[in-house]
Structure 1
């Protein structure tokens, strides 16, 4: 059995963090995502994604990490920005499309990882700089020391700059059988909003194993 967790140092620096994890052991049929798109449209009426409290909290966190908020955006901000301009998102894979739609509706970044491509425990932590990150183009990068990464026991970084960019190594494909879904929020009403997000995913995914983590209870075993 393996464990997903956030490092103690990250909890110390971001005590407001509210993460949720879901373990899904079956593929997801393509679903009607209109409801989530409509919620996102309503939230963006007369404003931009940058003004949403969920996104502002991530911008502050990125600034705390020394990243320029307009150069590196959390995944939900990037999705909302594209959606605001194009009014749609491309179809990739049923489970990714679902999580992208829910991420739009809640403005909370969601990572979807192929568990078969992760070695041992997975920890969100500050990078040493020795980790290997595989881009979607097949290039190997090394995160900067101190950068927040999703790192497994083999030293593979499955995400760079925390919620900014996932790795091609654990990207979901048609061959994927089991996925780990991670949602993370930092804003003032994160506890309630993450619970609502998890309920939405539970409804769509047939009640998978899931947990909302905390500094006092930071581990999810799968």
Structure 2
């Protein structure tokens, strides 16, 4: 199996950088072992001094959404949505211990992070422009068809595991209590993206080790290293 961005994505967004890794033993992770209180508190303090819109990483995604013909105030990247929620509520929802950890790290870095249950993805994933035939399953169990030209994460069964690039994930591959192996992808477009993803990589590896999670494959993705290969379940 592999994860890759289509050539058309690289042509339009050559500044793109990404981090991909596979985390295993996820089903063994207990909620009481994941404490994001300190990270969330630090983020809230920073937001008191400057809003999320001041972050170069968020500004870059806003420009990208505008370039794709989407209103940045209507469709926000997942990291900006988390930061807005933190600024207003001073807390993040509790969903799943791994997702709670990833959401905190996403907000901390201002970089959207996606997580997919490997067992629920059919074949490899390509970030590409939709052709209009893909299916996306919402959390309300509805099936949507992305518009042609929309950026999606598509597997070999033509399921769109995300819509509008990093706006919304599919319910089809959501991480749940039974999930064992999870593909994690972080993407950034700002000038310091490569360095910031390196920081994020170090933070995720540190937290995984503390929680007895196993990272079996990992790579930073750039124009020179575009494909991430990983084993299935």
- TM-score between the two structures when normalised by the length of structure 1: 0.97
CA contact (8 A) 2:130 2:150 kept: yes
* 1:42 CA displacement: 3.3
The match for 1:98 among 98, 101, 107 is 101
1:156 aligns with 2:155: no
Trace 1:34-183 onto structure 2 (pairs within 5 A).
Answer: 34-183=37-186
Structure 1 stretch displaced more, 122-131 or 208-217:
208-217
Structure 1 stretches of 5 or more lacking a match? Answer: none
Aligned-partner SS, 2:185: strand
Distance in 2, matches of 1:204 and 1:123, equals 28
CA contact (8 A) 1:110 1:182 kept: yes
* 1:34 CA displacement: 2.5
Distance in 1, matches of 2:190 and 2:118, equals 28
Q: Residue 229 of structure 2 corresponds to which residue in structure 1? A: 221
Distance in 2, matches of 1:87 and 1:35, equals 12
CA contact (8 A) 2:116 2:173 kept: yes
* 1:52 CA displacement: 1.2
CA contact (8 A) 1:103 1:110 kept: yes
* 1:50 CA displacement: 1.5
Distance in 2, matches of 1:42 and 1:150, equals 34
Distance in 2, matches of 1:51 and 1:179, equals 31
1:20 aligns with 2:23: no
Distance in 2, matches of 1:3 and 1:10, equals 16
Which contiguous aligned blocks of 4+ residues in structure 1 show a shift greater than 4 angstroms? none
Distance in 2, matches of 1:40 and 1:190, equals 19
Q: Residue 220 of structure 2 corresponds to which residue in structure 1? A: 212
CA contact (8 A) 1:36 1:104 kept: no
* 1:13 CA displacement: 0.6
* 1:47 CA displacement: 2.1
Distance in 2, matches of 1:163 and 1:113, equals 13
Total equivalences in the alignment: 221
CA contact (8 A) 1:20 1:184 kept: yes
Aligned-partner SS, 1:169: helix
- TM-score between the two structures when normalised by the length of structure 2: 0.92
Aligned-partner SS, 2:173: coil
Distance in 2, matches of 1:32 and 1:62, equals 33
Distance in 2, matches of 1:15 and 1:42, equals 33
Structure 1 stretch displaced more, 198-207 or 148-157:
198-207
Distance in 2, matches of 1:109 and 1:43, equals 18
Distance in 2, matches of 1:189 and 1:36, equals 21
